Structures are given as structure tokens and as C-alpha cells.
Amino acid sequence: MKPFLDRLAVALYRGYIIVYYGEFVFWATPEREGMDLGGMIAVWLLYSIMAYPFLCVVNCFKVRDPWSIFLAGAFYGWFEEGIVVQTTYGTPDTPFPMSISFTALAWHAPIDVFVGWYLVRRVLSQNKYFATILLAGCIGLFYGLWGIFWWNEPPQPMKELLDTGRKDILFIHFALFTFGTTALLVLAHWLYPRLRPTEFRPSRVEMWTIGVVVLLYYAFITVPAAPKALWVLPPVMGLTFWALRNNQRAEIRCDAIVAFPERVKSLNCLLLFNIPLVACAIYFFALANDLRLPTNLIFYYSATPLGAIVWLISVVVCGWRGRIQQSLRSQLE
């Protein structure tokens, strides 16, 4: 029972990483519906449930290096956006086929998984203060620039603040939101090396249960809601799993869940507060100068094709690596 509880703890940690970058950074405002305390806790628990299959994939396919990390992130992105919800097949804001990449490959894989879950942990484990400050500052820069685009299409509470000139209140809300959610992020990164298990190895019962539930959901909810799922999801997921399978044959190290075992210094974790500090500085400057920039469109039109390109490269790299390793082993035998 204890190993299962340990795995649940890892899923809760991973779930908060996802919800921080995938929801809190994405929506970037407490004025959005569902961003109250109860809604934030609910969405964290939901994302923790969705994190469990992701962690199973990381463990089963020995995901460790950056290319395989991106592929695991692509799996997670399509699992969330292509199965749980159906935005992969097109929305009014993101038409098909651009929707295949955005947000799965343009946001979830690079931001939630690669940067938020993998790169931040890797940098923190080095306990080099300057590296942490630099990475957190870059994340904060992106956070602030992304957040200001919501002024162009604001939710009603934000619109009222903008229309009545109460920019000071809007800034205070943003600052409280970013610092509050980041405080929990700091706590998660501080606790994880101290509580995590030595390995994340789900049982066969867990794997079969997850597999059956996902297939039933896909067949009876996803496909009826979005028939494109029948011919869009299988090939992209199939290529992703093929490459990850080949990566598994080549990788001899432990997976990324238990990588970076070094205990992070408390001060190094606290330096992650540079994220909201830089984000708030950008937000304040833009508010003071009324800079309503379409930063979402800049990101969308650059990250959407780039995410697809990086996914293709990752498939080739991991697939080729595994084939070479298999060939060398055959020759040695």
C-alpha cells in the first residue's frame, strides 16, 4: 500500500507542476472563472489524476533525455487535449489542423513538461543560484508578456477594472495571484526530493485499469464528441510510442522521475520567486504604458509550427537511437 501512496504523492506533485504552467500561467489572472480557491484545488486534483498516466509512460519507457522528455510531454498534451477534452480536433479560436499542435505540442510539451517539470528540477538539483535566478527570470519574462494579452480579450471582471481605470487593483490581483501560486510551486519543489520514492513503478493492475478506462473514455466520449479522433489520434500517438519504445531499448539510466536525487537547498528553491517578480515587473510596465500587445498571436504563430517540428525531430532521434542500439546488440551477440 505504501508504494501506491508514494506514487500518488508524486502524481500530486506533478499535477501541481502541470496546473501551475498549464492553467495558472496560461490564464494569468484571478479574474478568470474557476480561479477561486475551490476551483484551483479542484483543477489541481484533476490534473494530478491526468498526471498518473504520464508518469507511467515516463517509467515504462525510461524517459530521461530531453528528446524523450518532449515525446512524453507530447503524449501528455494529446492525452489531455485529444482524449480528456477534444481541442486537438479544432476550436473556434484554433482551427484544425493547427489545433493538433496547439496546445499539446506548443504549450504542454515544452512548457508544462520540458521546462516546468524537467528543466526546473534539473537546474534546482545543481544548487547553482545564478542558474536558478536566470531560468526563473526567463520564465517570469514569458509569464508577464503572455499575461498582458488578456487585456485584449478580458473576462468580465478584468474588463470592468480596465474600463473604470482601476489598473492598480488589477495589478494587485495579478501580483497576489502570481506570488501565491508560486509559493506553492516553491513548496512542491522543496518537498519533492525529501518525500519522493526511490522509484515509480506502477503495478500491472494499475496499468491495466488505466488502459481500460482510457480506451472506454476514448471510445464512448471522445470519438462521439469529435469523430476526427478516430483518424487523428492513433497515428500521432502511435509514432510517439514507437519512438519511446526505441528510446527504452537504448536508455540505460534511470527515468526522469527519480533522476536528480540531490537535495535542493532551501535558498535555491526560494529563488523561484524570481518568476512572479519579473512577471509583475513586466505587467506593471505594460499597465503604466497601456501596452495592449497581441503576445498570444506572436506565441501562437511561432510555437505552433515549432512544436510540431520539435516533435518530429524527437521521433527521429529517439527512433534512430533505439534502432542503432538494437543493431549493435545484435552484432555483439
Nearest to 24 by CA among 43, 45, 10: 43
Distance from C-alpha of 61 to C-alpha of 196, rounded to nearest angstrom: 20
Whether residue 104 contacts residue 88, with contact meaning beta carbons closer than 8 Å, is answered with: yes
Beta strands in 94-227 (DSSP E): none
Q: Looking at residue 324, what is its pLDDT?
A: 64
On the question of pLDDT at 155 being above 70, the answer is yes
DSSP state of 177: H
Domain boundaries, the chain: 2-332
DSSP state of 224: H
- Res. 34 pLDDT band, cuts 50 70 90: confident
Whether residue 268 contacts residue 127, with contact meaning beta carbons closer than 8 Å, is answered with: yes
Whether residue 46 contacts residue 55, with contact meaning beta carbons closer than 8 Å, is answered with: no
Q: Looking at residue 235, what is its pLDDT?
A: 97
Q: Looking at residue 332, what is its pLDDT?
A: 47
Structure-model confidence comparison of residues 323 and 262, the more confident one: 262
Cβ atoms < 10 Å from Cβ of 233: 22
Tens-digit pLDDT profile for residues 234-271: 999 999 999 999 999 888 888 898 888 778 899 999 99
**The one-letter amino acid at 105:** L
Distance from C-alpha of 61 to C-alpha of 47, rounded to nearest angstrom: 21
Cis peptide before 97 (omega within 30 of 0): yes
Tens-digit pLDDT profile for residues 199-231: 788 888 889 999 999 999 999 999 999 999 999
CB-based contacts of 93, cutoff 8 Å, min separation 6: none
Q: Looking at residue 261, what is its pLDDT?
A: 74
Task: Read off the pTM.
Answer: 0.93
Distance from C-alpha of 24 to C-alpha of 40, rounded to nearest angstrom: 9
For the chain, the residue count is 333
On the question of pLDDT at 144 being above 50, the answer is yes
Average pLDDT of span 39-46: 93
Whether residue 239 contacts residue 98, with contact meaning beta carbons closer than 8 Å, is answered with: no
Nearest to 17 by CA among 86, 115, 129: 115
Average pLDDT, the chain: 91
Whether residue 158 contacts residue 31, with contact meaning beta carbons closer than 8 Å, is answered with: yes
Least confident range of 59-73, 183-197, 204-218, 240-254: 183-197
CB-based contacts of 56, cutoff 8 Å, min separation 6: 202, 206, 207, 210
Q: Looking at residue 202, what is its pLDDT?
A: 87
Least confident range of 32-36, 161-165, 216-220, 269-273: 32-36
- Res. 323 pLDDT band, cuts 50 70 90: low
